[in-house]
Amino acid sequence: MEKDLIILGLESSCDETACAITKNGKLLANVISSQIEVHQKFGGVMPEIASRLHLENIACVVDEALKTSGISMDEVDAIAVTRGPGLIGALHVGIQAAKTLALIYNKPLIPVHHLCGHIYANEFVEKLSFPLLAVVVSGGNTELVYMKDHLDFEIIGETKDDAIGESFDKVARVLGLPYPGGVAIDKLAKQGKHAYKLPTPLHDGSLNFSYSGLKTAVINLVHNLEQKGEKVVIEDMARSFEDVAVGMVIDRVKKATKLYPVKEVVLAGGVSANSYLREEIVKLFKNSDVHVIIPPIWCTTDNAAMIAKVGEYLYREKIFAPLDISVDPSWKIEDFKKF
């Protein structure tokens, strides 16, 4: 019988401090300390405050994950930690904590790419099958990743400017909605209609995205209407914006699955919680051979369960790092073995 594989995962790339423990792929503990309420006061994540809060909370989430799982540090086989991409100061807290645990308990250290984590979160639903297309849509990234096999990542399309989540957050802000804006827009859009005409940027036939022009168009339209003394119907603006933003994803996914021999499409990242995107992706492949995995809402937000999950695959490949590694705030997924 194979020996049990126990991974302790740590995540601190943005505004969630998290620790999880997996045993042979099964989740034994998944502790998340969210900073959202603190950042809400500022209308977005304040990097300096995020780092300080990670520092305050990291030991507590580790302690709680060990208690909940009933696992001792001696039983843990390796420490997996998010090395990037993300906020530099926030990432440092997780990496330092992971290095400390690895040094004290003499465990291998496994640096994990945050977006690999979001893709592999889908394995808490079912095993990935290949070749697949991962639609990575989050606050900091928008990319289409083609995977021929496990740990084989090829970016086939990406944003040329803003990330989709960033545009949801900025549009929400101009409409007076709370952070994180995507959640509020998702809700409001359901009550609105596509009444405002907005541009669909980047018609170059590629698989790339562009969200900065769309965001600016909404901001300008809102300001123009306000200057004329006209009321902005925020439900309709939310609907109009969401249609175009999600429409761009659907268009690129449609194109990508024609160009690449894809068996499966998986959604990943914070914006994959968007109910309209979920519906449209399912609709797109309803009568086709392409299988779709929609992650449960709990793993669309940042968590360490997904980091531990990738950690298992990297452990089997013996992809370990020396204790002098540092973070990489703009680490590319294709370089996940380079540190």
Q: Distance (Å, rounded) from C-alpha 156 to C-alpha 133?
A: 9
Buried b (16+ CB within 10 A) or exposed e, 104-118: eeebbbbbbbbbbbb
Contact in structure between 180 and 36 (CB atoms under 8 Å)? yes
Counted residue by residue, the chain has a size of: 339
Residue bearing tokens 């449209």: 280
Q: Indicate the residue among 177 and 221 with the shorter CB distance to ligand KG4.
A: 177
- 262 closest CA partner among 235, 290, 228, 240: 290
Which of 124, 315 has the CB closer to ligand KG4?
124
Cβ proximity to ligand KG4: between 66 and 308 the closer is 308
Q: Least separation, in Å, of the C-beta of 57 and ligand KG4?
A: 17
Question: Minimum distance between the CB of residue 258 and ligand KG4, rounded to whole angstroms?
Answer: 26
Question: What angle is formed at CA 166 by the lines to CA 274 and CA 217, rounded to 5 degrees?
Answer: 100
Exposure on the CB side of residue 110, measured as CA atoms within 13 A:
29
Tell me the C-alpha distance between 136 and 119, whole Å. Answer: 7
Label the pairing between strands 78-84 and 26-34.
Answer: unpaired
State the Rg of the chain over Cα. Answer: 20
CB of 13 to ligand KG4, least distance (A): 6
Q: Closer to ligand KG4 at the Cβ: 11 or 264?
A: 11
Binding site for ligand KG4 (CB under 6 A): 14, 138-141, 165, 168-169, 180-183, 186, 269-271, 273-274, 301-302
- Closest distance to ligand KG4 from the beta carbon of 53 (Å): 15
Closer to ligand KG4 at the Cβ: 111 or 139?
139
Residue-by-residue DSSP string for 159-211: BSSS-HHHHHHHHHHHTTPPSSHHHHHHHHHTT----S-------SSSS-B--
Residue 142 · residue 159 · CB < 8 Å: yes
Shortest reach from residue 260's CB to ligand KG4, in Å: 24
Which DSSP category does 262 fall into? -
Cβ-proximal residue to ligand KG4, closest one: 270
HSE (side-chain half, CA atoms, 13 Å) at 206: 14
Smallest gap from Cβ 227 to ligand KG4, in A, equals 27
In the complex, the smallest distance separating the C-beta of residue 70 from ligand KG4, rounded to whole angstroms, is: 29
SS3 260: coil
Complex with ligand KG4: residue 30 or 274, whichever CB lies closer: 274
Comparison of 165 and 315: residue with beta carbon closer to ligand KG4: 165
Query: Toward ligand KG4, which CB reaches closer, 70 or 178?
Result: 178
Which residue, 20 or 102, has its beta carbon nearer to ligand KG4? Answer: 20
Least distance (Å) between residue 287 CB and ligand KG4: 26
Shortest spacing between CB 195 and ligand KG4, in angstroms? 20
